[in-house]
């Protein structure tokens, strides 16, 4: 009875009473704003410790009109790259002292509900790793002064920033590798209804190939998967072989497709690097494994996450800065499916 509200958690007021000060001082100590005499601070900390006091973030956020929450929109976590991206984001979000609010969305409608709910929690920022942020929704965020940043996509929405792996650099690295290895007929494998980044990667790759004079339109073979993921790649390979087509080098929009395509080709008696070269995107752990040892473009997830957070904070301070689009450098990881040959023809055939 004496101990304020039995069982309930202690409030700043309880602490203030015990320490014999005002709640304002308690607040000052725990949000370390404004100055507090060392002596009173210690009294407060001790009292707080005694009562097991902890700031109520709900009340804090209500008052500040901003919680320390950051909303993260994800999709298809079963893709290893996406889950490693989430991992990087979580780690960076926590390091900066925020808390991640994670929602998985399946369609545009869910994205809309989600962003709306994020604003209801007065999040400090929204990270979109999937789907196109609907323009009007974003407007709402801007109105509420909530920064939005998209990863691996890019649209012309004012006040929304983007950070994106450097697809052009990726294309160049791959093109050079293929050329160095003497590949002549090059293919580009992508899912029929790919994401923005998938499509963009293909477009840029084609441009680069033409620029380098490595191919004209007829040379770049578009291989289209009817399905996404590993199975999609595998079936694409089967259809490819049925049609009696042939390639020297295949570049794939993502790691899953690449592994699937490689396995599909193997089922048809073709293997890399003996019969063709194949290079993937994402560098997921699986691609490093013995059964694949895939040469692949590596995306720097941690750097991406860092940039995202710093964008979020920048726009949090000044909502009206100009849109920023950052490209994160990528690396080519050479493994078995397109090894570092001297510039000679690889196929005896």
Partner DNA sequence: CTGTTAGCGCCTTCAG
Partner DNA sequence: CTGAAGGCGCTAACAG
Count of alpha carbons within 13 angstroms of residue 84, beta-carbon side: 16
- If one asks whether residue 55 binds DNA (CB under 7 A), the answer comes out as yes
The Cα–Cα gap between 330 and 347 comes to: 28
User: Of 152-160, 216-224, 290-298, 328-336, which segment contacts a copy of itself by CB under 8 A?
Assistant: 290-298
The Cα–Cα gap between 108 and 253 comes to: 22
| CA distances for 348 relative to 215, 229, 279, 289, 344, angstroms | 22, 32, 20, 27, 11
For tokens 């720097």, name the residue.
300
Residue 261 binding result from DNA, a copy of itself, none, given CB thresholds of 5 to 8 Å by partner type: none
- If one asks whether residue 21 binds DNA (CB under 7 A), the answer comes out as yes
Rounded least distance, CB 9 to DNA, Å: 6
Identified binder of DNA from the candidate list 24, 77, 108, 113, rule CB under 7 A: 24
Q: Which of 156, 166, 169, 146 is nearest to 311 (CA)?
A: 146
Nearer to DNA, 117 or 245 (CB): 117
Identified binder of a copy of itself from the candidate list 188, 230, 240, 251, rule CB under 8 A: 230
Identified binder of a copy of itself from the candidate list 3, 46, 207, 291, rule CB under 8 A: 291
- If one asks whether residue 109 binds a copy of itself (CB under 8 A), the answer comes out as no
User: Of 162-170, 188-196, 239-247, 283-291, which segment contacts a copy of itself by CB under 8 A?
Assistant: 283-291
The Cα–Cα gap between 308 and 328 comes to: 11
Q: Which helix (H) or strand (E) holds 190?
A: strand 186-191
Nearer to DNA, 7 or 213 (CB): 7
Rounded least distance, CB 215 to DNA, Å: 59
- If one asks whether residue 30 binds DNA (CB under 7 A), the answer comes out as yes
- If one asks whether residue 31 binds DNA (CB under 7 A), the answer comes out as yes
- If one asks whether residue 20 binds a copy of itself (CB under 8 A), the answer comes out as no
The length of the chain in residues reads 349
Q: Which helix (H) or strand (E) holds 298?
A: strand 295-298
Mark out the alpha helices in the chain (DSSP H runs).
12-19, 23-30, 38-51, 57-64, 80-95, 108-120, 135-144, 167-180, 196-211, 229-242, 255-267, 285-288, 301-317
The Cα–Cα gap between 194 and 217 comes to: 21
SS3 204: helix
- If one asks whether residue 263 binds a copy of itself (CB under 8 A), the answer comes out as yes
The CA-CA-CA angle for residues 67, 69, 88, to 5°, reads: 155
Residues 328 and 165 sit within 8 Å (Cβ to Cβ): yes
Rounded least distance, CB 133 to DNA, Å: 24
Q: Taking CB under 7 A as the criterion, which residues in 81-140 touch DNA? A: none
Count of alpha carbons within 13 angstroms of residue 209, beta-carbon side: 28
> Between 57 and 96, how does the x/- string for binding to a copy of itself read (CB under 8 A)?
xxx-xx----x-x--x----xx-x--xx-xx--xx--x--
Residue 193 binding result from a copy of itself, DNA, none, given CB thresholds of 5 to 8 Å by partner type: none
Residue 50 binding result from DNA, a copy of itself, none, given CB thresholds of 5 to 8 Å by partner type: none
Residues 148 and 314 sit within 8 Å (Cβ to Cβ): no
User: Of 4-12, 98-106, 135-143, 330-338, which segment contacts DNA by CB under 7 A?
Assistant: 4-12
Residues 105 and 98 sit within 8 Å (Cβ to Cβ): no
Identified binder of a copy of itself from the candidate list 49, 56, 109, 207, rule CB under 8 A: 56
Binding site residues, DNA, CB under 7 A:
8-9, 11-13, 20-25, 27-28, 30-31, 33-37, 39-41, 53-56, 59-60, 62-65
Binding site residues, a copy of itself, CB under 8 A:
7, 9, 52, 54-59, 61-62, 67, 69, 72, 77-78, 80, 83-84, 86-87, 90-91, 94, 99-104, 116-117, 119-122, 140, 143-144, 229-230, 234, 259-260, 263-264, 266-267, 285-286, 289-292
């Amino acid at each position: 009875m004496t101990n304020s509200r039995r069982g309930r958690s202690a409030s700043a007021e309880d602490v203030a009473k015990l320490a014999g000060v005002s709640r304002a001082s308690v607040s000052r100590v725990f949000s370390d704003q404004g100055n507090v005499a060392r002596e009173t601070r210690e009294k407060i900390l001790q009292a707080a410790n005694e009562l097991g006091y902890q700031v109520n973030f709900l009340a804090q956020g209500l008052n500040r009109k901003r919680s320390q929450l950051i909303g993260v929109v994800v999709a298809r976590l079963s893709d290893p790259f996406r889950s490693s991206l989430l991992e990087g984001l979580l780690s960076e979000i926590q390091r900066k002292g925020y808390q991640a609010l994670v929602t998985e969305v399946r369609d545009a409608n869910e994205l809309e509900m989600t962003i709306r709910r994020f604003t209801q929690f007065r999040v400090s920022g929204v990270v979109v790793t999937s789907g196109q942020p609907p323009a009007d929704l974003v407007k709402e965020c801007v109105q509420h002064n909530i920064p939005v940043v998209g990863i691996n996509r890019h649209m012309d929405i004012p006040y929304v920033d983007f950070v994106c792996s450097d697809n052009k650099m990726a294309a160049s690295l791959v093109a050079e590798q293929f050329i160095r290895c003497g590949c002549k007929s090059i293919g580009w494998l992508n899912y029929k209804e790919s994401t923005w980044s998938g499509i963009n990667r293909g477009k840029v790759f084609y441009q680069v190939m033409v620029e380098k004079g490595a191919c004209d339109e007829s040379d770049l073979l578009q291989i289209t998967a009817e399905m996404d993921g590993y199975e999609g790649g595998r079936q694409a390979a089967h259809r490819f072989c049925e049609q009696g087509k042939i390639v020297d080098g295949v570049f794939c929009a993502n790691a899953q497709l690449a592994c699937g395509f490689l396995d599909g080709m193997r089922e048809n008696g073709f293997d890399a690097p003996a019969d063709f070269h194949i290079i993937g995107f994402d560098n997921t752990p699986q691609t490093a494994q013995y059964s694949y040892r895939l040469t692949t473009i590596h995306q720097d997830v941690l750097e991406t996450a860092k940039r995202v957070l710093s964008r979020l904070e920048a726009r949090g301070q000044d909502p009206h800065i100009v849109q920023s689009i950052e490209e994160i450098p990528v690396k080519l990881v050479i493994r078995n499916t397109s090894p570092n040959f001297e510039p000679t023809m690889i196929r005896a055939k």
